[in-house]
Amino acid sequence: MHPRRYAATCPAKPAVVMAASGRTLSYGELNSRSNRVSRCIRDLGAKIGDGVAILLENHLRFFEPVWATQNNGLYLTTLSTHLTPPELAHILNDSGASILVTSHAFAGKIAPAMAVIASG
């Protein structure tokens, strides 16, 4: 069931609990945050059927773009944080993703991956 339904009936209920830290994200928070990401993705020009790739650390913020892609009817490609720049480039090319959601932590991998893509 989509978090939106739980957000409407029990917004304070935890949607995600991080095992290591015990940090939680409620259904209300997840719904609100994923709606903001959905708007950002649409503002970038994504249309139903387009692809989005996600390269993020294992933390609560990971779930926002995941649900946002579903909200927008987009295809999702999740990328392992252990991939090398050439591997990232290959998967990004192959997936056809037009949007990449990532964090500053992966700038050292993304910039070289984009260079590989640009070089053809």
Predicted model pTM: 0.87
The CATH number given to whatever domain includes residue 47 is 3.40.50.980
Specify the number of domains making up the chain. 1
User: How would residue 18 be classed by pLDDT, with cut points 50, 70 and 90?
Assistant: very high
28 has a pLDDT exceeding 80: yes
How confident is the model at residue 34, as a pLDDT?
A: 94
How confident is the model at residue 1, as a pLDDT?
A: 67
pLDDT tens column, 52-88 = 999 999 888 999 999 999 989 999 999 999 999 999 9
pLDDT tens column, 35-45 = 999 999 999 99
Q: What is the domain range of residue 24?
A: 3-119
DSSP the chain: --HHHHHHH-TTSEEEE-TTT--EEEHHHHHHHHHHHHHHHHHTT--TT-EEEEE--SSGGGHHHHHHHHHTT-EEEE--TT--HHHHHHHHHHHTEEEEEE-GGGHHHHHHHHHHHHH-
